Structures are given as structure tokens and as C-alpha cells.
Chain A
Amino acid sequence: MRDTQTNDILLLQRVEKGDRDAFRALYHRYANAVYSVALRVTRDPELAEEVVQDVFMKLWHKHHLYDATRGRFGTWLLSITRFAAIDRLRYENRRFRAADEEKTVPSRVEVHTAQADHDLWEMGQHLRMLVERLPKEQRQVVELAYFQGFTHRELAEYLGIPLGTVKSRLRLALTKLRDMWQEGMER
């Protein structure tokens, strides 16, 4: 894991000097992951592509935004992807629609390339199973908040339930996940 991080930093330093090869290398390493996060949020392949472009253009022009003291580069990149995608939905006024569209599944998903951070992706699968284990209404608030960027109030409005209920439901779900997650990691 440390190797990937070191390598990323070296590539970033070259990107800073305008090195296209280094940029391409970072792209190859993270394009699938970035696209996957963008698609998960937008549920729209075209919009997801635009988000990927925005994110990598930002990386090319504003690589200095990444602060290595605050964590892994790959996680940072996916994290700004998530925010960029949510912003994009907000901008297009499509958040509610994206939340409604549970069915947009890309038609052919055959080849999966684990290009970097295999261990994190593997851990992610474990977390996903924990999320699946939550009662449906808890899973729903977690997913809407995390992937569609809904706040407490927006959740209450969208779901038509009292604000207090939303808050406790989300808190309960996240607390439960954290506990199960930590338990799983200790084993």
C-alpha cells in the first residue's frame, strides 16, 4: 500500500512540471475507480464521464490541492470525485431523479480491472455486505446521504418523515456500521 502512495506522489510531482506521461499514468491507475464512483452517484454514464473529465482536469491544473499529510492520494481523488459528482447533480437539479433511478445499470460489465489499491477494494466489498445487512430504511438514508449528498433536512423532505426521525435513523445506521466494521477489522 505504501508503494502505491509513494509512487503516486512521485507521479504528482512530475504532473506539477507538466509531464503528460505522469498524468496518463495516474489516469490509467485511477480512471476506472473514479468513473465507478461518478457513476454510482450520478447513475448516468454521460454525466459520469463529464465528472471524470472535471476531476482529472482539476488534477492537471490544480494538483497542489492534494495534501499528502491528510491521507492517501487515491482516497482523496475518489473523495473529490464524489463531491464533484454530487455538485454536478445539484447543478443539473437532478439529485432527486438520481435518487429515484435505482435501475440504471450499465448493460455490459464484464471485465474488471483492479488497477490499484486492491486491498482497499476488497475491504470495501466487506463494508458493502455490512451495508446490505442494515434494515432497508436505514440503508436508504445512508445511501441517499452519502451518494446523493442529501442533508438531514433534505432527507426529511424527500422521504416525507420528521426531521428527528431522519437524524436518529442515520445516526443509528452509521453507528451500527462503524461498530460492525471495527469488529470485523479486529478479527
Chain B
Amino acid sequence: MSEREEHQVVSQLIPAYAIGATDADETALVEQHIRHCEVCRALLADYTQLSDMFLYTVPLVAAPATLEERLLAQIAPPQPSDIKKRSRSTSPARFLFPRWQTWAAIAAVVLLFFTNAYWMARLTRVKQEAALQATAIAFLADAQRVQVTGDALAPEAGGILIFQPDTSIALLHLDHLPPLPEGKAYQVWLIRNGHRDSGAVFRVRGEKEITVLIRAPRPLGEYEAIGITVEPEGGSPRPTGPRVIKGRIIQQGGISTQEKAS
């Protein structure tokens, strides 16, 4: 093969090579050629970037909660010095994540909608992505935000409820919620005329931030307040455990018009 022919062949193999789809003989040819061909190296850099991006196309799902314990059990047991260090209030979350930022919530909203769209499309075999994208954008543009704060049991906890008054789906972005023992979960309550509707049940495993999708029986604008209690894992028909988070949805004179979420 002449130099020129080889370049021709290899440059056509580069996209497949970047994602690891070439067979052994092709791989060998590509690897020896790029050593001396700058054009192909540049092309490869391009496709490698695309290949890396594919990793972020997978639907984000939560890893099972039990996995962490099993993993930690496999590595060396904690040293006494480790324990001392931890009790010195190094909440593991402290260095875990960048500070609360609005874009994180927005990214979470978009992610949530797209991810749901993915599952919906798979389940119904109907393409809804475009419709949901439009929904997500509209949702963000018109959404309102109210703050929720931690109660005595979780004084550091807090977050933001992102919602539209006329829809029954909302997002609750929370931080610093303490992890719960096995068998317990957090439950979100929406309060209206003293009546409490369940909005979501979720667990926290040590994440500093978590975004919870809330599905209420009624449009969010009809509720006065929101609260979170600790309940048995499957959730309860009405609150039974201690309250950890509270917030007002409606403020005097109507629905809160604090900053917009966009």
C-alpha cells in the first residue's frame, strides 16, 4: 500500500477506531499510521471527543444503596485516626460538591425531563423527546421558586421548590439532608386546608444535593405549604414521623413570586 492509499484507508477507519470497533488487524494499521500522520491524529482527537461524549448519553439512574456498604467492606477497615478525623465534623459532603448553584437545579430539571423522556419512549415506543424538550424549556421559563428550610432535626438542610402553579409536577432540590437508617425514607407532603397529600418518597445516601420529582394530586398552586417527614421506607398515607423540612408555597397576597428559575 502506498503512503497515500494507507492514509486514505486509515482516515476512514478512524471513527470506528475511536470507539473501539476496529478488528485487530485494522487497529494495528491505524496505530502504526498515526505515529507519523498528523492529519489522522487530529481526526482521531476529534472522534475521541465524540466517543467520550457518548458516555454521558446513558440514562442516569441511582446506584443501589447497598452497594456502598459492600464496597467499603471490601477495602481495608478504618484506622482509629480515620474515625477521629471524621468525628471532627468532616461531613463527607463538605468537599464533595461545589456550592449550591442555580444552574445545577436547571441542569437537573433538563436531565430529569430528558431522562424521563427516554424511559417513556422506550416503554411506549413513541418518540416524545421533542415534546418534552419543549415542556422542559417552557417549564423553566415560567417556573417559580420558593425556599424550603430545615427544621430542628436537620437545621443545615434546605432547598428550593421549582414549580408552576397550574401543573401538578414540581422539582424539589435539596441539600444537606442527613442520611437515614435502613428501612426509613423521606416523604414529601403538600398541605392544603390542613389536608396532606403525598408528593414523593425518597432516600438519601450521603449525597449533598438531591433533586426529587414531585407528583401531586392537584396543581401546585392550590397548596399552601410543603413539608418533609421521616417515614417507613414505603411511605405512609399520612405523616407519622418527625418533620425535617418545611416551606410555604403560597405567601400572603397569593403565590410567591420570588425570583424566576430561568
What residues make up the interface of A, taking CB atoms closer than 8 Å to B? 3-4, 7, 11, 18-21, 23-25, 27-29, 31-37, 39-40, 45, 49, 52-53, 56-57, 60, 71, 75, 78-79, 82-83, 102, 105-106, 109-125, 127-129, 131-132, 142, 145-146, 149-153, 155, 167, 170-171, 174-175, 177-178, 181
| Partner among A111, A150, A153 whose Cβ is within 8 Å of the Cβ of B62 | A111
* Count of residues in B whose CB is under 8 Å from the partner chain: 73
Rounded to whole angstroms, the CA-CA distance of A36 and B63 in the bound complex is 7
Rounded to whole angstroms, the CA-CA distance of A83 and B127 in the bound complex is 30
Using A125-B111, A145-B20 as known contacts, say yes or no to A35 and B71 having CB atoms under 8 A apart.
no
Q: Do the beta carbons of B78 and A20 come within 8 Å of each other?
A: yes
Rounded to whole angstroms, the CA-CA distance of A122 and B58 in the bound complex is 11
Q: Describe A's contact surface by its main secondary structure.
A: helix
Contacts of B92 in A (CB 8 A): 21, 24-25, 28
A-B contact count (CB 8 A): 221
Using A75-B52, A127-B57 as known contacts, say yes or no to A171 and B108 having CB atoms under 8 A apart.
no
Using A28-B207, A181-B50 as known contacts, say yes or no to A112 and B111 having CB atoms under 8 A apart.
yes
| Partner among B46, B47, B53, B122 whose Cβ is within 8 Å of the Cβ of A124 | B53
Q: Do the beta carbons of A114 and B104 come within 8 Å of each other?
A: yes
Rounded to whole angstroms, the CA-CA distance of A32 and B74 in the bound complex is 19
Residues 192-203 of chain B: 1 if any A CB is under 8 Å from the residue's CB, otherwise 0?
A: 000000001011
| Partner among B57, B78, B211 whose Cβ is within 8 Å of the Cβ of A113 | B211
Residue of B nearest to A25 (CB): B96
Quote the shortest CB–CB distance from B231 to chain A (angstroms). 15
Contacts of B118 in A (CB 8 A): 128
Rounded to whole angstroms, the CA-CA distance of A21 and B75 in the bound complex is 12
Rounded to whole angstroms, the CA-CA distance of A52 and B103 in the bound complex is 28
Using A121-B56, A167-B16 as known contacts, say yes or no to A25 and B95 having CB atoms under 8 A apart.
yes
Quote the shortest CB–CB distance from B156 to chain A (angstroms). 17
Residue of A nearest to B20 (CB): A149
Contacts of A120 in B (CB 8 A): 53, 56
Question: Does B154 interact with chain A (Cβ within 8 Å)?
Answer: no
Top 4 nearest A-B pairs (CB, nearest first) are: A124-B56, A35-B63, A118-B107, A174-B15
Q: Do the beta carbons of A152 and B26 come within 8 Å of each other?
A: yes
Rounded to whole angstroms, the CA-CA distance of A52 and B78 in the bound complex is 21
| Partner among B71, B108, B127 whose Cβ is within 8 Å of the Cβ of A132 | B127
Residues 180-209 of chain B: 1 if any A CB is under 8 Å from the residue's CB, otherwise 0?
A: 000000000000000000001011011101
Q: Do the beta carbons of A115 and B90 come within 8 Å of each other?
A: no
Q: Do the beta carbons of A127 and B56 come within 8 Å of each other?
A: yes
Q: Do the beta carbons of A20 and B82 come within 8 Å of each other?
A: yes
| Partner among B67, B82, B97 whose Cβ is within 8 Å of the Cβ of A115 | B97
Question: Does B135 interact with chain A (Cβ within 8 Å)?
Answer: no
Q: Do the beta carbons of B67 and A49 come within 8 Å of each other?
A: yes
Question: Does B61 interact with chain A (Cβ within 8 Å)?
Answer: yes
Question: Does B31 interact with chain A (Cβ within 8 Å)?
Answer: no
